[in-house]
């Protein structure tokens, strides 16, 4: 599957799953003073953005240094995406990552990592750059738009949950999980097809 700016943006939004992260963010921020919550959310989104951007810019070099191929990343990334998507469809009581939501103000974990910049998101940004390094500006733009969407959704998390209700948010998350399952299977099948063609040569 060949990605462009729009498809990469949709993929990254599905993976970072801002709607599905609403309950986690609300629980983690319960012990934070209301006037600080927006600042904390923006800080965590910014941290996630920087981490993903670093992986996007140097990920291809890292893969070459570790002697890893685009093929292994496609299959491995597809497996990770598939597992995350399954947890979106069949959610864990403590959220998709089983996060410990304590009263202290969260820093990096669990909001920036792994809620936003989790293994699937890191694998995806590296996959995008390894498949089409000449489209780097498109990938950076897609990541930027994704993080802006995440910030807007999470800043309005409590209002969105009140407007839509917890069940509607959960239904959206499961629907996004189903789409992500299809994308992850396509990634794995694409990698397997390439591997089989290489064996036949």
Tens-digit pLDDT profile for residues 93-144: 655 555 454 557 888 888 898 889 988 899 899 989 988 889 999 999 999 9
Number of domains in the chain: 1
Read off the pTM.
Answer: 0.80
Domain span at residue 192?
5-200
Long-range Cβ contact pairs of 187-194 (< 8 A, separation 24 or more) = 187/1, 187/74, 187/75, 187/77, 187/78, 187/81, 187/127, 188/74, 188/75, 188/78, 188/79, 188/82, 190/1, 190/74, 191/71, 191/72, 191/74, 191/75, 191/78, 192/75, 194/71, 194/74
**Does residue 25 surpass a pLDDT of 60?**
yes
């Amino acid at each position: 599957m060949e990605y462009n700016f729009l498809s990469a943006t949709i993929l990254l939004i599905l993976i970072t799953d801002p709607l599905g992260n609403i309950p986690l963010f609300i629980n983690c921020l319960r012990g934070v003073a209301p006037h600080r919550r927006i600042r904390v959310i923006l800080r965590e989104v910014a941290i996630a953005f920087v981490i993903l951007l670093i992986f996007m810019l140097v990920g291809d070099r890292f893969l070459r240094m570790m002697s890893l191929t685009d093929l292994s990343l496609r299959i491995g990334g597809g497996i990770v995406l598939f597992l995350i998507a399954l947890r979106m469809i069949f959610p864990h009581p403590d959220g998709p990552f089983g996060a410990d939501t304590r009263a202290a103000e969260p820093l990096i974990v669990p909001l920036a990592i792994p809620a936003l910049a989790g293994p699937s998101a890191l694998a995806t940004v590296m996959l995008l750059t390894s498949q089409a390094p000449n489209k780097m500006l498109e990938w950076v733009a897609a990541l930027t738009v994704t993080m802006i969407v995440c910030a807007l959704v999470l800043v309005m998390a409590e209002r969105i949950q009140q407007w839509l209700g917890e069940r509607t948010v959960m239904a959206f998350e499961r629907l996004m999980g189903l789409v992500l399952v299809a994308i992850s299977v396509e990634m794995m099948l694409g990698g397997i097809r390439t591997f089989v063609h290489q064996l036949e040569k």
